[in-house]
A and B are shown apart, each in its own frame.
Chain A
Amino acid sequence: MRKHLGSRKTRSVLTLLILAIGLSIVVSACGSSNKSSTTSGGGGGGGGSSTTSQAADVTKCGTKPGVKATGTPIKLGAIVTKQPGTDFTDGATMADAYFHCVNDNGGINGHPIKYKWYEEQTNPAQIAGFAHKLIQTDKVVGIVGGFSIIECSVDHKYWESLGIYELDAGIAPECWGTSNSAPPNMGPRYSSDGAVQGVVRAGAKKIAFDQSNVPGTGYIVAGPQSVAKALNVPITTFKDNVPIQDANSIALKLVQAAGSDGGVVLNFTPPEALKILQAAQQQNLQDRVKAWACSTPCNTDFVAKALGTQWDGKLLVNAELNVTDNNGPQTRLYRAVFDKYGSKVSGGLGSFSQMGFVMAQQTVMALESIKGNTYDIKTVNTAIKNLKGFKTDMLCKPWYYGQAPLHIPNNTDYTTTPNHGKMVIKDGCIPINAADPGIAKVRSIEQKDPSLSQPGTTVPGA
């Protein structure tokens, strides 16, 4: 009798265990809830602290220093990925910080920018819903500062149908391969191309390439494969689920695949890349290959600090944007805005927040070019589309939008490396290899219309 009761109890416990495990997975997959954030005119939060102490003048954000904008708000929106293992909110929060700064210094012809973004979890229906909500409910007139894994794929036709020219950063091929999307960065594919070029320059004769197992991996890996082929270097590719739970095994796998004369290239968000690099360090694997490299996300001082000095000069990061402590006027303003308005930028100074800052500056530049006082979908997006020759010290060469079937205006990159807790420039601007078909096409577009990438517009700096 007791045995019978025991097995019945066991059965019920096992049932609840399976339920609990299932529920845990659901909770894990959901991560943070759909969250939106809004900015109204006026001051942003204080706080945040940059790694540099050089003071800069945040009043340079706007045309009327110290005068708060009080006119009718210009509503802008974005969609951003935030889920376990992938947090892209730094782009939107930094754009938000810059808009706060602009609003505190005259706004756009007296109009404050009201910025709203939604956080998604790689769910197409959810993303499409947010896109319609931004236009129909929130009445935004521009989509800027978005940073998503699949948003470009899901929404690009909708934006095209409305005549919206999106300023975004992302992962999906449509971010760079369609007419109505132009990012300030080159994205994981072309940045990974640059990282592959980096390890080959360091002498690697074989490459192990690993990336997070998220939608779009096939598109991304095609770039490094084409570049490696052009450079006559064999490449083995992997993808691993995030969040990574067994970094030690992954680091071992990659080192084995690369071999002693090879190089390892990682394409992960900073926390995930850090897990693999630290696992390599703890197993004394960092010197077992010729070189380690990362795509852009590793270009953050948090990674450099967390890694410690053992990786100084050993990790090559393809940086789509300049280092955060360079002394150019736009980067000084970026740091100043981060210090005063960037308390919500959880990742600190780094490539994600730099992209948000650049997109915000591009947006403001476009808005300021509008003649008259009408800020609707048509005027705002025409102004965004007409942007060209946008020169900032954060990018290797002037950025442009223009009318084109694809947009990869950032196609020349820096290479950085950790040095005593900071990322420093190792190699200056190096063009991404045109063996990648997308890069070849965009170089052809630039050759046909050289004015696109000629320096032309003065960007605010401090």
Chain B
Amino acid sequence: MPSWEDFKPFIITGLALGGVYSLSGVGMVVLYRATGVLNLAFGAVGAMGALIAWQLINHNGWSEGPAFLVCVLFGGAVTLLYGLVFGPPLSSRDPLIKATATLGLTLVLLGVMDLIWSDKARSMILPTSNNGFQVSDVFVNYTEVIALAFGIGVMLVTAIFLRFTKTGTAMRALANDREITATLGVPVRRVEAAAWLGCGLLSGAAGLLLSNLVGLDAVTLTFLVISSLAATLIGRLRSITVTFIAAIVIGLVNALVTPILSISQYRDMTPFVLATIALLVLSGRRGSALSGRAG
């Protein structure tokens, strides 16, 4: 068993990764609450935004700032466009069909990325990764700090937005009943568009950070969304706070298992194991509560 000293650096990497998972998770929960759509294209949109930024920097002579902005805006634009085109016709369909439709977008984007950029080695180092500070003997770069801070910030801002703003209240109403909300005069399409845009912008930002923390690789970034999905599952697609905490825990456990050599190679299962445990515990509690109430 590794010592505490061995584990310390993994706490940093785990927190950073968890922070970015939480970005994805929160984005997906907000969209689901407003539109009933589980956006499986979150990772692919972010990956393509990051690759576009790489292309602009390395082949078109753009400076980093505008290229990174394009990455985030690309996420917003593609997701919004998808929401505007496919959102209304799918609005009354089963959640499974809505989710599967976003998988279609994922596959289209993956195909386009494979066609344009292939699998060759490339990288995009954020300027913040070149600087940092020491915590004990562990070097923490500013991208890792930003990833965690951004995750916390997005969670807080989203929670406040949903509770205290008119659009946020409308989103929560939509989550409860789309038809009744519409009859009350809420501009459903506009509110849903705002949710699609917000989710897309977050996917662009997450893609940018993950391309730096994980690697600029289309397939990897696309399917990192699975870890975030596990977090949203633990948050039952409702609670932003629980989703955030779950994402951090998934990132942490994933990293902390790494130095334990006997189980290290199974750490990719972390999101599913944690999600399964959480669901079993939650189901058990609900069962106890219901039987207690019946008694």
A interface residues (Cβ-Cβ under 8 A, vs B): 7, 10, 12-17, 19-21, 23-25, 27-28, 31-32, 84-85, 87, 213, 238-241, 243-250, 252-253, 256, 270-271, 273-275, 278, 282-285, 300, 302-303, 306-308, 346-348
Contact = CB atoms under 8 A, between A and B. Distances in A.
Interface of B: 2, 6, 9-10, 13-14, 16-17, 32, 38, 40, 94-96, 99-100, 103, 106-107, 114, 118-123, 125, 129, 132, 139, 141, 143, 212-215, 217, 219-220, 222-227, 229-230, 232-233, 236-238, 254-255, 258-259, 261, 264-265, 267-268, 272, 279, 286
Given A256-B2, A278-B125, 15 more contacts: A12-B95, A13-B32, A13-B236, A28-B219, A87-B119, A243-B220, A245-B227, A246-B17, A246-B255, A249-B13, A249-B254, A249-B258, A252-B13, A278-B123, A347-B121
A244 B219 CA distance: 10
Contacts of B94: 12
Nearest to A283: B139
Give the top 10 A-B pairs by smallest Cβ distance, nearest first.
A346-B118, A275-B215, A248-B13, A87-B119, A270-B121, A249-B258, A243-B220, A16-B96, A306-B123, A84-B219
A20 B120 contact: no
A306 B122 contact: yes
A259 to B, nearest CB: 12
A10 B214 contact: no
B119 A271 contact: yes
A246 B13 contact: yes
Nearest to A242: B220
Contacts of B38: 13, 16-17, 20
Contacts of A348: 120
Contact of B226 (A24, A246, A271): A24
A315 to B, nearest CB: 13
Given A16-B96, A17-B229, A283 B141 contact: yes
Contacts of A15: 96
23 contacts: A12-B96, A16-B38, A17-B232, A19-B96, A20-B40, A23-B100, A24-B225, A238-B261, A239-B265, A244-B214, A245-B214, A245-B227, A248-B17, A250-B258, A253-B259, A271-B122, A271-B217, A278-B125, A284-B139, A285-B139, A302-B120, A306-B123, A348-B120
Contacts of A87: 118-120
A127 to B, nearest CB: 20
Nearest to B143: A282
Nearest to A308: B125
A254 to B, nearest CB: 10
Contacts of B227: 245
Contacts of B230: 21
B233 to A, nearest CB: 5
A20 B101 CA distance: 11
B121 A306 contact: yes
Nearest to A252: B9
B254 A246 contact: yes
Contacts of A249: 10, 13-14, 254-255, 258
A10 B237 contact: yes
A245 B214 CA distance: 6
Nearest to B260: A253
Contacts of A275: 214-215, 217
B123 A274 contact: yes
Contact of A253 (B120, B122, B215, B264): B264
B88 to A, nearest CB: 20
A213 B96 CA distance: 33
Given A10-B236, A87-B119, A346-B118, A241 B217 contact: no
